[in-house]
Structure 1
């Protein structure tokens, strides 16, 4: 569970991906290890294990060491701090006696973290902590088959699923256990690009099946799956028309509702208006193109439905707090540091 650090990384700009791990006592080691080892391979070139592209911290509820379910003691690397701007916050559970009941302050902090828009990942029985916080009400969640009956009794408003490696719904990502590598690879693909995601799978000796026998798991970078058929239909339309400046009035007509009805339904199901949801999808696609290609900003703007480079730069800055130029420069600086 140890990771190597070098003093120089702390002088570098914000990495592509930051993750805070809250380790509950008697957490399951394998899912945490699969997730963090994937981050380690994506964080640096070769096997240097420097936290450059990705950074993470270990935290516990009382800032004291905890013991994994296998008996391995782990000391935190930072005090528990919910105020940081994590890209993801992980609640790593394990044995149920340590997650059935959670302190009220922890539940309140998780609710506030979710309200701020920070995605929360639950590993193993960490879903019970999120359930106690009311964050799974009305949402699909992936849980371990051995806990399904108790989970249903405790959280009747949640929708438990036992045949998925992970599920993303409403800003909560539930992973029932296992290695967590599928989840990690998709997160890395979204934030660090396809090449680094493929590197993780290669180094961990995991092959992406060419012809899966079942429907593949959605990536975390893809839109949430919603129970509302109309919303799902419109999201599919949006996903296949990211380069189109189609007016939303025409999208509403395609869906068979008025513009006002479309926004009301989207706000209820996703928390965003249809326009904001579509723009966020297009910005995510633009950021992927910036990370994985050397295309000009004008070309990327055209491919993602923005009027021109200036239009894209304006919205990119509002969404991510930096310009596309600084985003690309940061990645070049990191590459240069790696190659020194």
Structure 2
């Protein structure tokens, strides 16, 4: 940092879990980088950031790219925030003892802790989330419930700020949480600049919904979860119930029984809920035409989508987009 420049207004340390999610880390840190300096010069003037570890050995991400830490753990009070970036569920079971002790010292010193992606799992295991609300991706909602009895995470919002604990669902939401921090400590103009350079139209608020499965469709039943995930991955050309059963190598009757027992609805009704949830998300977040949204969510054409949407939601898609708030009848 040049001698005449003031101390950074936002100082962030990162701890990367083994097999961490590279996109979540990159989105977060690039918002800081772009907010830190004029233009795209990337000098750590208004923000500073460091990747921390006990050994400084490279940490390999889930995609295989390795990141070499900048500093040893040291004194946590030199940071305003310490961000834990999680990774694959089966790989990110625990932090190293030195990392856990560092985070506990950070909490004791009043440093805010941030859990990104499955980083909140690691913070919970370190005993640092007791009494706090937290956010996880809808994709990991059931994994969280299985691992932490009595704790129900927020899985329908992109991030949660609860006093000195901040958590987000990962992916693009990491950029929005980082922008929230930049807005708070540096200013809104710096936050908007970062997002615009990253081709993100506008900052999303904490209570904006995650794109994904409707929360009421979460189930611990492996067969139901696999069926819903299969649909989620093929929204533009949704498979029929019979095709899903065939892909999962079960009978249609068995699949229907599991949905009825676990969700109280048929697979076809659940699949339609998922598609209409995606329609509502696209209506609220984009300027796509109704025809484009219909194609992306597996409806034959705009007329088909309008008819089904009006039947289930009580209004047309365009009326929903303009701010109508009907009772949901799905």
Q: How does 1:284-303 map to 2 (within 5 A)?
A: none
The total of aligned residue pairs comes to: 207
Is the Cα–Cα contact under 8 Å of residues 140 and 161 in structure 1 kept in the other structure? yes
Residue equivalent to 1:196: 190
Q: Any idea what SS the aligned residue of 2:76 has?
A: coil
Q: Any idea what SS the aligned residue of 2:90 has?
A: helix
Does 2:149 match 1:156? Answer: yes
Compared with structure 1, are the counterparts of its residues 157 and 102 closer, same or farther at alpha carbon in structure 2 (3 Å cutoff)? farther
Does 2:103 match 1:147? Answer: no
Deviation string, structure 1 residues 41-93 (Cα, Å, up to 9, x no partner) = 10100111111111101123432101111111111111122434211101111
Residue equivalent to 2:250: none
How far the C-alpha of 1:13 sits from its partner, in A, is 3.3
Q: Any idea what SS the aligned residue of 1:120 has?
A: strand
Distance 1:71 1:104 in 2: 24
Q: Any idea what SS the aligned residue of 1:56 has?
A: strand
Residue equivalent to 1:29: 22
Residue equivalent to 2:327: none
Residue equivalent to 2:206: 217
Compared with structure 1, are the counterparts of its residues 29 and 110 closer, same or farther at alpha carbon in structure 2 (3 Å cutoff)? same
Structure 1: stretches of 5+ with no match in the other structure: 1-7, 220-340
How far the C-alpha of 1:157 sits from its partner, in A, is 4.0
Distance 1:128 1:135 in 2: 10
Compared with structure 1, are the counterparts of its residues 61 and 127 closer, same or farther at alpha carbon in structure 2 (3 Å cutoff)? farther
Residue equivalent to 1:171: 164
Is the Cα–Cα contact under 8 Å of residues 113 and 166 in structure 2 kept in the other structure? yes
Distance 1:10 1:97 in 2: 45
Residue equivalent to 2:52: 59
Compared with structure 1, are the counterparts of its residues 98 and 173 closer, same or farther at alpha carbon in structure 2 (3 Å cutoff)? same
How far the C-alpha of 1:105 sits from its partner, in A, is 4.1
Instruction: Give the TM-score taking structure 2 as reference length.
Output: 0.58
Instruction: Give the TM-score taking structure 1 as reference length.
Output: 0.57
Q: Any idea what SS the aligned residue of 1:49 has?
A: coil
Deviation string, structure 1 residues 165-205 (Cα, Å, up to 9, x no partner) = 11111311111211211111111011111111121122112
Distance 2:67 2:43 in 1: 20
Residue equivalent to 2:290: none
Q: Any idea what SS the aligned residue of 2:134 has?
A: strand
Residue equivalent to 2:64: 71
Q: Which stretches of structure 1, 4 residues or more, deviate above 4 A after TM superposition? A: none
Distance 2:127 2:152 in 1: 13
Q: Give the one of 106, 109, 112 matched to 1:113.
A: 106
How far the C-alpha of 1:10 sits from its partner, in A, is 6.4
Deviation string, structure 1 residues 3-36 (Cα, Å, up to 9, x no partner) = xxxxx43674321111001111211011111111
Q: CA RMSD in A?
A: 2.2
Is the Cα–Cα contact under 8 Å of residues 6 and 45 in structure 2 kept in the other structure? no
Compared with structure 1, are the counterparts of its residues 10 and 146 closer, same or farther at alpha carbon in structure 2 (3 Å cutoff)? farther
